Structure formats: C-alpha cells, structure tokens
C-alpha cells in the first residue's frame, strides 16, 4: 500500500494564492476608482449648482426690464466670475404676455473624458 507524501505546500498552492490575491486586488482597485470618479462627478455637480444659484439670485435682484435680453443675461453671467473651465451660456429668453419670461441657461464642464451638461430654466415675473 502506498502512502501519500505530505511534505507541505507545493508551488501550485502558491500560484493559486497569488492569482486569487491579484483578482481580489483588481476588484478592490476597480471599486475604489469607481467611487473616486463618482465623488469627482458629485463635486462638479455641486459646484455647477452653486454657480447657477448665484446667477439666478442675481437675476432675482434685478428688475424685469433689466433682464429681458440675452445680452443683459450674458453680462450677469460674466459678472459672476465663473472659472473658465465652466462654459455658461444663455440659450434664449421666451416672453409670455409681457409679464413673465423664461430664461434658458446651459452650463458645460469637461474633465478629461467626463463632460457634464446642465440645463436650467429660470422664470422671471414682472412685478
């Protein structure tokens, strides 16, 4: 009768352990990268919303007649001192019965291969 020789760990065991460790490490790194990318996107979104809020509050402080053209809205956008990485444009103004106007904004930000586009409609009522 032959008895199996149990001398310890063989190289196949080491190779298996290393392969499992590599797969586990890759999974953890992929998860970390996805969390980091999501964190960056959320930070960009937060910054864009802050700039859009600042522009909307400035429009609210103005009289209806002071914000009835795209040029006047563009001046407000330029006075907000938004960094050049953010592209903010007023896409147009729609007037309703000379007492309500809808102002359309678009803001774009590109970071490496991530492009974030936001659109906002602001309503200004003649008081």
Chain segment 41-68, per-residue pLDDT in tens: 888 888 888 888 888 888 888 888 888 7
The per-residue pLDDT for 74 is 85
Chain segment 67-86, per-residue pLDDT in tens: 878 888 888 888 888 887 88
Domain definitions of the chain by residue range: 11-125
With 0-12 / 13-18 / 19 or more C-beta atoms within 10 angstroms meaning exposed / middle / buried, residue 107 is buried
Return the percentage of the chain with pLDDT > 70, whole number: 93
Q: Name the average pLDDT for the chain.
A: 84
Most confident of 33-37, 86-90, 94-98, 118-122: 33-37
Say if CB 93 and CB 99 are below 8 A apart: no
């Amino acid at each position: 009768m032959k008895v199996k020789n149990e001398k310890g760990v063989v190289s196949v065991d080491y190779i298996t352990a290393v392969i499992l460790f590599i797969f586990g490490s890759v999974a953890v790194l992929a998860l970390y990268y996805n969390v980091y990318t999501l964190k960056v996107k959320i930070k960009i979104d937060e910054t864009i919303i802050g700039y859009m809020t600042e522009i909307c509050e400035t429009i609210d402080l103005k009289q209806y007649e002071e914000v009835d053209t795209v040029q006047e809205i563009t001046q407000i956008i330029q006075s907000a001192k938004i960094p050049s990485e953010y592209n903010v444009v007023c896409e147009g103004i729609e007037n309703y019965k000379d007492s309500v106007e809808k102002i359309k904004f678009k803001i774009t930000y590109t970071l490496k291969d991530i492009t974030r586009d936001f659109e906002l409609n602001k309503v200004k009522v003649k008081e």
